[in-house]
Amino acid sequence: MQVRINDNMRQQLTDIIELHKGYFGGDVEHLLDALNGVKASRYIGQEAKEIISNIEQATGIAYSELKSKNRERNTVIARQYGVSYSRSLFDV
Q: What is the pLDDT of residues 19-71, one digit of tens each?
A: 777 666 667 776 777 666 665 555 556 677 888 888 889 889 998 898 888 89
DSSP label at 28? -
Largest pairwise CA distance in the chain: 47
- Rounded to two decimals, the pTM is 0.47
> Is residue 84 pLDDT above 60, yes or no?
yes
DSSP label at 42? G
pLDDT at 24: 63
DSSP label at 72? -
Classify the phi-psi angles of 45: left when phi > 0, otherwise alpha if psi is within -120 to 50, otherwise beta. beta
Helices 73-90 and 46-59, axial angle in degrees (round to 10): 140
> Is residue 13 pLDDT above 70, yes or no?
yes
pLDDT at 8: 76
> Is residue 86 pLDDT above 70, yes or no?
yes
